[in-house]
Amino acid sequence: MKKTLTTFLVLSTLFSFAQQEPYYTHFRFNQSSYNPAAAGNHLHLGGYKNQGQYLCINGVTHYQWRQFDDVTVERGTDGIPETSVDNIAPETHNINLETMFNLGKAGNQFLGAGLSIIDDNVGFTQRLSILADINYKMALPDGNSVVSGGIGIGFQQFGLKNANYKYRDPNDPLIPQGTGNEGKLNLNAGLYYQMFRLGPFEDFFAGISVTQLNGANYMVTLDQTGTFNRKFVPHYYALFGADYPLGNITLEPAILFKYAFLGAQYTPQFDVTCTGLFAETFRGGLGYRQWGNADALSLLLGYKKNFLELGYSYDITVSTVSTVSAGTHEIMVRYCLPFTVEYPPKIPRKGVREM
């Protein structure tokens, strides 16, 4: 029988800030979920040099720490044995829509726009975030790079869903029970830089961003017992990556740093991946995540065909959570639909002196 995880769960969901924001193994392909300045970037489609326009839809489903559950045969002190299994493994579902429009006739200014929806579930907590992203992009005079800055403005709903924490003392007021949620404003901001050639590298990109910029504080009243308090804090990201062509194979290294200023309660995290795209079709590679100590080793597989990209990753948990985890699965689907914007032709009009 697995060891009861009740104490760990209560402490982690009530008092810890370790996973306020979800993480993604496919962070290279899901950038606008944490950086609004990345919305509308189509490096893999030729960037701004490609005269076409695209509407890209990106979806990621992240199943973290499979088989991470709470198994116990005793609830409270009433002496009545009760076997209970609650699914408390974190799950994240994210979908992003993004596009880019030309601004002006010069072809060196652009408007990036996107919509990001994140449904993040950790234990009995549930967070739904809907953000509208907008950014301004400008091609630099060298003709080889683009800079952009953007903001994300939206709504975030947070609370408990069917909370069923196990307690040793009946009706302990510190153990919340039931369902409740609260909605508040959510803000993100970011900067992004992309260079189409940097020495032997192609499609180099770098970005910095902050999520939960306004630091919303939630005080959720539950329908059964007690209240649930959660203070969200700003999370800071730094991203770097590029392509390195090697004949029929293109290496795709990327690294993501993440931090929140919470003193000893939060440890900096970084993710690094390196995939190889073979014949512009098949993708495979490895990843590593460090969260204080080593957290996970990742295997990434993928397929690309024209405007469609598919990805799958499996994270092998190497931290102490491995004793109750069967690893993490993640599925990524991305499709870009090309479209054109046709402006109505100008209608010649005669001046008053030509009549």
229 band by pLDDT with thresholds 50, 70 and 90? confident
Higher pLDDT, 265 or 76: 265
pLDDT over 80 at 308, yes or no: yes
Higher pLDDT, 106 or 271: 271
Least confident of 70-84, 124-138, 320-334: 70-84
pLDDT band at 114 (very low <50, low <70, confident <90, very high): very high
Of 172, 164, 184, the C-alpha closest to 124 is 164
Over 60: is that where the pLDDT of 349 sits? no
Average pLDDT over residues 128-156: 94
Q: Decide if pLDDT at 217 tops 70.
A: yes
Q: What is the per-residue pLDDT for 207?
A: 96
The Cα 101–Cα 57 span in angstroms is 16
- What whole-number distance in Å separates Cα of residue 180 and Cα of residue 182? 7
The lowest-confidence range among 45-59, 185-199, 320-334 is 45-59
Lowest-confidence region among 91-95, 283-287, 317-321: 317-321
Taking the CA atoms of residue 299, residue 192, residue 100 and residue 45 in that order, the dihedral angle to the nearest 10 degrees is: -40
How far from 251 is each of 242, 276, 317, 334, CA to CA, in Å? 8, 4, 25, 19
pLDDT band per the 50, 70, 90 thresholds, residue 2: very low
Single pTM value for the model: 0.84
Range picked from 10-19, 61-70, 168-177 for highest mean pLDDT: 61-70
Proportion of the chain above pLDDT 70, given as a percent: 77
Q: Any long-range contacts for 128-132 (C-beta under 8 Å, 24+ apart)?
A: 128/156, 128/157, 128/158, 129/154, 129/155, 129/156, 129/157, 129/186, 130/154, 130/155, 130/156, 131/36, 131/186, 131/188
Region for residue 107 given its phi and psi (left: phi exceeds 0; alpha: psi -120 to 50; beta: otherwise): left
Residue 79: its pLDDT value, please?
Answer: 47
The span from the CA of 88 to the CA of 285, in Å, is 29
pLDDT surpasses 70 at 213 = yes
10 pLDDT above the threshold of 60: no
Alpha carbons 315 and 25: distance in angstroms, whole number: 8
Q: Where are the domains of the chain?
A: 6-249+329-340
Residue 93 has pLDDT above 50, yes or no: yes
| Element of type H or E holding 9 | helix 6-15
Q: What is the mean pLDDT of the chain?
A: 82
Render pLDDT for 162-187 as a digit per residue (tens, 0 to 9).
877 766 676 677 778 888 999 999 99
- Whether pLDDT at 343 is above 60: no
**pLDDT given at position 265:** 64
Q: Which region among 38-47, 160-169, 206-215, 268-277 has the lowest average model confidence (pLDDT)?
A: 38-47
pLDDT band, residue 293 (cuts 50/70/90): confident
Higher pLDDT, 150 or 264: 150
Q: For position 142, what pLDDT does the model report?
A: 85
Give residue 261's pLDDT band: very low, low, confident or very high (50, 70, 90).
confident
